[in-house]
Structure 1
Amino acid sequence: MAYQALYRVYRPQSFNDVVGQQHIIKTLQNALVQEKFSHAYLFSGPRGTGKTTAAKILAKAVNCEKAPIAEPCNECATCRGITDGSISDVIEIDAASNNGVDEIRDIRDKVKYAPSAVRYKVYIIDEVHMLSIGAFNALLKTLEEPPAHVIFILATTEPHKIPLTIISRCQRFDFKRISPEDIVYRMKEVLGSEELEVSEDALYEIAKASEGGMRDALSLLDQSISYSTDKVSLEDVLSITGAVSQSFIVKIVQAIFNKNIVEALDSVESLIKNGKDPARFVEDLIFYYRDVLLYQASEENAYLLEKAAVNEEFKELSSKMDSAFIYKVIAELNQTQQEMKWSNHPRVLLEVALVKLAQSSTNQESALPYQDILQKMNQMEAELQQLKEKGIQVDHTAQAVQTEKKQTRQSRSQYKTPVGKVNEVLKNATRQNLETIKRSWAQVLDTLKQQNKASHAALLSNSEPVASSDQSFILKFKYEIHCKMASENNNNVRDNLENILYTLIGSKREMVAIPESEWDKVREEFLQGQQQSDGSSGQPQEEDPVVAEAKKLFGEDLIEIQE
């Protein structure tokens, strides 16, 4: 007999063999024992998580000669016939190639006929989201009220594409991605039957590469066995998957941290020579930095790590790297990964990113001096306080230290509000101009996200247009640091914003940034200046006729006038 792939040979034949879906298996088994199973089911979830397998096991269980039971016996003629496909009453349909109205009408015409060999006729429709709208409509009535001898099981990887009228007629079960531990456990069972030897590290690397799919894991295991000569090692699996070892990633991370550009570029050269994919390597690197960040937050997060193994080398790196530096690295690598999708030279982009990160490394080297200064200041204050308590006279050194400390903190985050520009906008601001900006603001943020400028959209998410003239508009920021970043045009935030606005409203307007803490104060001073200017002209201001009429109707005490 011809060789069969492992995932076909070891496809589960009972519910107990299905791994990682206990919440579904338990529900189905209870329904089978109590004979309270539904006429229609919808199995949704990622690929290779057991949807079609569970559907076939359910078809055997409801028709087993020993029913009602929680597990098919796999011994009776019915179970064996459904397993080998010789019983025609269990029909498996691929909706990807049978997605027309005519195919569904054929099902609708045949469901009324009783099954020929078993108790229930079971229709398993795989990738059901591929059906056309006309086919879904043709299925509606039959799915809602099928004959008593018919069960429908729909399977899909994209449930959002299925009409709600179909979903509401089914019992829905969401299959989740299988954890690496469950995948490794199942692979060990398979290897025990095959009498093959695979290292523990290799199994976990296969489990991570499969992204929660049991079928993918067994396919990779099959491929690794064919690739290796004796025992399947971690290096064999890395060669198959295109991934790199943790030691290689650590080497790159240390090179970036130590600003060793030569070593970083040598590592890229080695990566390319070994036939690795630069885009895949960038993804592995992002996950490694993510693991460092999670471990820094709490050592209890060790079970969440994707790429890193918690050893002494990893702990040392975690203690050295500053979280702000990690945020910057992840953002830069993510941007590089996006650009690689549209480039014919991903290697160049990778090299540029690593050089840029190594040169602009803002790790503890920039943070330590400031922290040391604060620590020494605190120590001096404590010593001075002790001298005071002992009755020893001291000068104003402590006060000077405190003032210097305060000034040092303020100098790091202080933003100088452009009051002159703000007043100029307010002089010429109109309600119509402001409404024009506000109506387009949500679309501005959406456009930034579509242009892969999610960081820009995040920076502007806590901002709000508060005034606008024909040439400029005032943007109020909730946080001063965001205001400073936008006004200094970091990463071209202001240029992108002004260009998108120009496209949407048809006129060029300059952004003037102001923190929320300063806006009320500057606006109030402007209004007071305007009132004094109007009073000095010697002409009384004419009251708005709408305000005057409101005062007549409701009285001045009940009226609150807002500009």
Structure 2
Amino acid sequence: MTYQALYRVWRPQRFQDIAGQKAITQTLRNALMQEKTSHAYLFTGPRGTGKTSGAKIFAKAINCHFLKDGEPCNECETCIAITNGQLNDVIEIDAASNNGVEEIRDIRDKAKYAATSADYKIYIIDEVHMLSSGAFNALLKTLEEPPKNVVFILATTEPHKIPLTIISRTQRFDFKRINTRDICDRMRYILNQEKLEFEEAALPIVARSAGGGMRDALSILDQAISYGDDKVTVEDVMSVTGSLTQELMLDYFEAIVTHDTKKGLSLLQEILADGKDAARFVEDLILFSRDLLVYQQAPQMNELLDGAKVDTAFKALSDTISADSLYQMIVILNGTQTELRFTNHPDVYLEVATVRLTQLEAIHSNFTVSSKQQESKQEEIPTTFDNPKITELENELLQMKKQMQSLMVNGSSKTGTKKTKPASKKAGNNQFTPNTTAIYSVLKEATRENLTQLKNVWPDLLNMLSVTQRAMLKASTPVAAGPSGLIVSFDYDILCQKATNDSELMEAVKQFLGKLVGYGPQVICVPGEQWPIIRGQYVKQLKSQPSNEKLVEHETVGQVTKPDQTIEQKEKAFAPVKKQLEAVDTSEWDSLEDFVPPSEEDDKIVTEAMTLFGEKMVEVKND
């Protein structure tokens, strides 16, 4: 076979050919021109973003004698040999299949010898996170003090699996996902060089399907070229990627705007019957909603649109649908996208989402109509005290008002000069709802020792995470922990929700905690505003545990004993409850009375004492 895939033929040979990584390529070029290169580099980032290509270009540039503006000439003997993989001094190793101690020891021994035909000996270790612990230890000393004229370049897609001792001895460069525009520019250049016909509108569709990877984009483009007989059209790209045409999306959105559930479900069935991918369908709807929203807010900035074509139908839909509706649609579609990851029946979730979307504005409209009807009915009710219904409602309102005043007086007398915290703003209908069942199960086995241990290593854990993951957990703190679970409180609801949905982050936290404390607890996220409420409900549940015999509550918080028990038996009965209460972080509590109100029996005893001896003679003391 003489044919080679596009991503192999058009692998970048200069730094300027690497799309979307200008900050990294500029830094490396300046370091080469100023002769300030390091002995070890770590290239991290998603697949197909240029890590291995960048390592090979760096190997050529550092050994090229005709360097120009930090770029290799690609014409000298050394550059050609490295490009063809024929230079013995540039060693590329796949750590996935060479991850043992012996392989790394062999590298360590051979690194001592000088380069034979180049100025520098370059070791490129791909997927370095696959190395075993022993292999990392064998590499550590060599990486710290390598022989002269030896450079190590480590590449990985999972930097969180690399020991910190390795990362600290390298210069780290994080390759980011390539945006749609840069991918389109690169594909346009390749198609022009290959002298192939293409439709401009087809390139953004390929770029979006690639998910930020140039290699994936060129692979999809290769399929589209073969499918269309050396011509790239929108229709062919749609068939290859399983994406939706704008006309089909406009029909679907029309069903949503007109609240036509039947039409929406029919379109959905046609889309699925054509073999369209469910995840791609939801992704296209989210991006199209985003384009509508952007066009509504800034119609003159068409360059911000992510592939949508601004035609008459698009403008008409933009004028018809409201921004609030688009916000709610994106929320619903985002939730559906998350649910599709964990189900074997994506069509069910898509049907549910379609029904919700088509009835979204209808519900709001019905609510508005019913509210107006209620207002009109209230106007018809005569405002006279002779109406028995009004009299009954006024009596109930008066009774409730007295009860509220009584509660306020009693509450102020009990709390005294206790500080009151300002009421926090509610997040509305989209407030994150934590898993209280899982939280209660963690609190049931939580201990103060586990919580203290995890709090002490929490800063070390943050340092082990990537920059993005560290930013997400920066405003978080452990509040309860047990042998198998950890509850983490977040200052912001949105960060709590993102962390909960980020399975990669949760797995990284679990693995790193396993390295730091010897076990990896299951992490449960809870918003900081809701944690005191859940915590208080749990404490009340502990105090009101059911029993078949009559129990007496003592003034000690949470202690439950029987009348005929000895002191030792009472302490033994109190121990489990006390242990669970201590496991909950009480640093933010003003008083335990906030969460454990006095029992009705205590109030009754105090009232009877005041009746017998007089209010001035009775003094209530809390031990």
Give 1:327 deviation, angstroms: 4.2
Residue 532 of structure 2 corresponds to residue 464 of structure 1: yes
After superposition, where does 1:216-227 map in structure 2 within 5 Å? 216-227=216-227
Structure 1 partner of 2:165: 165
Q: Is the CA contact 2:6–2:218 (under 8 Å) kept in the aligned structure 1?
A: yes
After superposition, where does 1:264-303 map in structure 2 within 5 Å? 264-296=264-296, 303=303
Structure 1 partner of 2:117: 117
Gap change, CA 1:197 and 1:100, over 3 Å in 2:
same
Structure 2 partner of 1:70: 70
Give 1:303 deviation, angstroms: 4.9
> Unpaired segments of 5 or more residues in structure 2?
374-400, 415-439, 447-478, 491-495, 504-523, 545-578, 581-592
Structure 2 partner of 1:443: 487
Structure 1 partner of 2:177: 177
Q: Is the CA contact 1:445–1:457 (under 8 Å) kept in the aligned structure 2?
A: yes
Summarize deviations over 1:264-303 as a string: whole Å, max 9, x none: 1221232123211223212322333344445555557765
After superposition, where does 1:233-382 map in structure 2 within 5 Å? 233-296=233-296, 303-306=303-306, 308-362=308-362, 365=365
Structure 2 partner of 1:228: 228
Summarize deviations over 1:151-192 as a string: whole Å, max 9, x none: 111111111211111111111111122222221111122112
Q: What SS does structure 2 have at the residue aligned with 1:48?
A: coil
Gap change, CA 1:342 and 1:47, over 3 Å in 2:
closer
Gap change, CA 1:457 and 1:149, over 3 Å in 2:
closer
Residue 77 of structure 2 corresponds to residue 9 of structure 1: no
Distance 1:320 1:12 in 2: 46
Gap change, CA 1:320 and 1:541, over 3 Å in 2:
farther
Q: Is the CA contact 1:322–1:363 (under 8 Å) kept in the aligned structure 2?
A: no
Q: What SS does structure 2 have at the residue aligned with 1:155?
A: strand
Structure 2 partner of 1:86: 86
Q: Is the CA contact 1:42–1:171 (under 8 Å) kept in the aligned structure 2?
A: yes
Distance 1:121 1:266 in 2: 63
Distance 1:340 1:321 in 2: 26
Q: Residue type matched to 1:56 in 2?
A: K
Distance 2:233 2:3 in 1: 23
Give 1:370 deviation, angstroms: 10
Gap change, CA 1:472 and 1:297, over 3 Å in 2:
farther
Residue 31 of structure 2 corresponds to residue 31 of structure 1: yes
Summarize deviations over 1:230-287 as a string: whole Å, max 9, x none: 6321111111111111221121121022111232122123212321122321232233
Structure 2 partner of 1:540: 618
Give 1:313 deviation, angstroms: 3.3
Distance 2:501 2:82 in 1: 50
Q: Is the CA contact 2:480–2:488 (under 8 Å) kept in the aligned structure 1?
A: no
Q: What SS does structure 2 have at the residue aligned with 1:540?
A: coil
Give 1:38 deviation, angstroms: 0.7
Gap change, CA 1:463 and 1:309, over 3 Å in 2:
farther
Q: Is the CA contact 1:93–1:126 (under 8 Å) kept in the aligned structure 2?
A: yes
Q: Is the CA contact 1:44–1:155 (under 8 Å) kept in the aligned structure 2?
A: yes
Indicate the larger mover: 287-296 or 250-259: 287-296
Indicate the larger mover: 259-268 or 126-135: 259-268
Structure 2 partner of 1:512: none
Q: Is the CA contact 2:128–2:156 (under 8 Å) kept in the aligned structure 1?
A: yes
Q: Is the CA contact 2:499–2:525 (under 8 Å) kept in the aligned structure 1?
A: no
Gap change, CA 1:69 and 1:419, over 3 Å in 2:
same
Q: Is the CA contact 2:180–2:212 (under 8 Å) kept in the aligned structure 1?
A: yes
Summarize deviations over 1:390-411 as a string: whole Å, max 9, x none: xxxxxxxxxxxxxxxxxxxxxx
Q: Is the CA contact 1:61–1:69 (under 8 Å) kept in the aligned structure 2?
A: no
Summarize deviations over 1:7-43 as a string: whole Å, max 9, x none: 1111121222222211111111111112111111111
Q: What SS does structure 2 have at the residue aligned with 1:122?
A: strand
Please give the TM-score of this superposition, normalised by the length of structure 2. 0.62
Indicate the larger mover: 114-123 or 179-188: 179-188
Summarize deviations over 1:199-250 as a string: whole Å, max 9, x none: 0001111111112211111111111100003632111111111111122112
Structure 1 partner of 2:433: none
Distance 2:366 2:352 in 1: 23
Give 1:311 deviation, angstroms: 4.2
Gap change, CA 1:190 and 1:67, over 3 Å in 2:
closer
Q: What SS does structure 2 have at the residue aligned with 1:259?
A: coil
Q: Residue type matched to 1:22 in 2?
A: K
Q: Residue type matched to 2:261 in 1?
A: I
Q: Is the CA contact 2:42–2:155 (under 8 Å) kept in the aligned structure 1?
A: yes
Give 1:536 deviation, angstroms: 5.4
Give 1:463 deviation, angstroms: 6.0
Gap change, CA 1:304 and 1:462, over 3 Å in 2:
farther
Distance 1:178 1:257 in 2: 34
Root mean square deviation of aligned Cα? 4.3
Bigger fraction of residues in helix: 1
Summarize deviations over 1:296-335 as a string: whole Å, max 9, x none: 5555776554454444433443443344444443343344
Q: What SS does structure 1 have at the residue aligned with 2:29?
A: helix
Give 1:57 deviation, angstroms: 0.9
Distance 2:302 2:488 in 1: 39
Structure 1 partner of 2:137: 137
Give 1:358 deviation, angstroms: 2.0
Q: What SS does structure 1 have at the residue aligned with 2:253?
A: helix
Q: What SS does structure 1 have at the residue aligned with 2:123?
A: strand
Please give the TM-score of this superposition, normalised by the length of structure 1. 0.69
Q: What SS does structure 1 have at the residue aligned with 2:235?
A: helix
Gap change, CA 1:95 and 1:453, over 3 Å in 2:
closer
Q: Residue type matched to 1:268 in 2?
A: L
Gap change, CA 1:457 and 1:302, over 3 Å in 2:
farther
Summarize deviations over 1:454-476 as a string: whole Å, max 9, x none: 9x978885463257534899xxx
Structure 2 partner of 1:211: 211
Distance 1:344 1:33 in 2: 54
Summarize deviations over 1:110-136 as a string: whole Å, max 9, x none: 100111111110001111111111111
Distance 2:29 2:221 in 1: 31
Q: Residue type matched to 2:123 in 1?
A: Y
Q: What SS does structure 2 have at the residue aligned with 1:19?
A: coil
Distance 1:530 1:11 in 2: 84
Q: Is the CA contact 2:59–2:90 (under 8 Å) kept in the aligned structure 1?
A: yes
Gap change, CA 1:212 and 1:231, over 3 Å in 2:
same
Distance 2:312 2:284 in 1: 20
Q: Residue type matched to 2:165 in 1?
A: T
Distance 2:302 2:68 in 1: 44
Q: What SS does structure 1 have at the residue aligned with 2:231?
A: coil
Summarize deviations over 1:395-449 as a string: whole Å, max 9, x none: xxxxxxxxxxxxxxxxxxxxx9x979x99xx9xx9xxx9x989858983989999
> Unpaired segments of 5 or more residues in structure 1?
374-415, 474-504, 507-518, 546-563
Q: Is the CA contact 2:286–2:334 (under 8 Å) kept in the aligned structure 1?
A: yes
Q: What SS does structure 2 have at the residue aligned with 1:541?
A: coil
Identity of aligned residues (%): 50
Q: Is the CA contact 1:38–1:171 (under 8 Å) kept in the aligned structure 2?
A: yes
Structure 1 partner of 2:419: none
Q: Is the CA contact 2:101–2:132 (under 8 Å) kept in the aligned structure 1?
A: yes
Structure 2 partner of 1:555: none
Summarize deviations over 1:494-538 as a string: whole Å, max 9, x none: xxxxxxxxxxx99xxxxxxxxxxxx99xx9xx9xx9999575562
Gap change, CA 1:155 and 1:444, over 3 Å in 2:
closer
Give 1:66 deviation, angstroms: 2.7
